[in-house]
Structure 1
């Protein structure tokens, strides 16, 4: 690949990273806290690209020109994934990824009791917090409270709806789902990947994720409503 081609690839790749990191697009790939590192990486790539292109134009030796003239054109194929990142924004991981991977194991807090939930007519919880309290605290801190949880819909092997969200350790490549079973007035015949906010109460019912056989907590749904996909789709 010629030096000019290398510079163009670096420039487009750095520009794609900057475009994603200066908007909310990067949240589809990595956790929110990695934004400064993405911006720094994009700036470094753009700077390296500018220097590479400048040196290419400054080159005056005929041998170098001949080499560049006969360089394999296949090198330009490296632009395809970069252009894809610039022109096409893939969706965040959803129901397909959730169905292929086993649910994460909600971790207990340790030997201490779970703290009481905040006061209010209903309490907003993450899926991980609910699953942890339901499975390891026997729902003691959940009983008698209306709970609000937000996630996307996916389907259990028996066709029943489940509420899910993808949990990231670092980036989308290591994403794993946290899944909750739904009983009561659960969303029925609603397309997968629809984002919903469900309001419900604790139930002692449990199931098993058929992918990795871990325990799955359930929520008894009292009501639900469709909501837009959140800016940060991952947990």
Structure 2
């Protein structure tokens, strides 16, 4: 790997990181919002190192070209041993991900990851807010699961709820409404899933908004309660800007 390529590679990686963190919200597919400033700082540092390296190596684009010919005090090059003007060839492996970040960004994690991640255990709620007196109840998947399994008053019984998430195909034609949550970044993602009944599965990984009622199985308000919904309506929606933020859908 030629030395003149090394600073260009740093510039490519830095520009790619800045593209997904500073000039768009694509970086939120991979890290929490609180970590986005660190991505921006990393991109700036990489670009700065690339510029410094390019000037040091005399790239004509970023600095004045060096004079040809050996310096008077330069030691003669050895004709034996390795040529140290070349870095390790393994560094070339950084080029594909650098171009991927710069030209197109990988999508957010989806159904493939959800079927292989550990299910997230919903923590016990200290209290639940009162439900609206009428109309569908918009809930996050986290709150729906908590109310189904923890609320002894069984306030969801017979109520129409509104949930949103992406489609994860199941077995024998079944499918789940899923959200992926993480503590730090996409590497530690955990899944929340609610099984859908009574409706044909939309395409895998598509984002949908679903209305329905709790599917009666087990005992509502206990850990035996089914995490399932009898679907009334399905509507396809765009992927949220922050796909890992499990919020209740708006009534629109």
* TM-score (structure 2 length as normaliser): 0.76
- Residue equivalent to 1:211: none
- The question of 1:140 aligning with 2:140 is answered no
Other structure's SS at 1:177 match: strand
Deviations 1:151-177 (A, max 9, x none): 111122343111111111111111121
Other structure's SS at 1:6 match: helix
**Hey, what's the Cα distance between the residues in 1 that align with 2:133 and 2:99?**
50
- The question of 1:104 aligning with 2:148 is answered no
The structure whose Rg is larger is 2
- Residue equivalent to 1:23: 24
- Residue equivalent to 1:219: 229
C-alpha spacing 1:204/1:8, structure 2 compared with 1 (3 Å): same
**Hey, what's the Cα distance between the residues in 2 that align with 1:23 and 1:152?**
22
**Hey, what's the Cα distance between the residues in 2 that align with 1:139 and 1:150?**
24
More strand by share: 1
- Residue equivalent to 2:49: 48
Across the aligned residues of Structure 1 and Structure 2, the Cα RMSD in angstroms comes to 3.0
Deviation at 1:180, TM superposition (A): 0.4
- The question of 1:85 aligning with 2:101 is answered yes
- The question of 1:180 aligning with 2:194 is answered yes
Deviation at 1:122, TM superposition (A): 2.4
* Contact 2:3/2:87 (<8 A) preserved: no
**Hey, what's the Cα distance between the residues in 1 that align with 2:30 and 2:87?**
34
- The question of 1:201 aligning with 2:217 is answered no
C-alpha spacing 1:105/1:52, structure 2 compared with 1 (3 Å): same
Deviation at 1:70, TM superposition (A): 5.0
Deviation at 1:202, TM superposition (A): 2.9
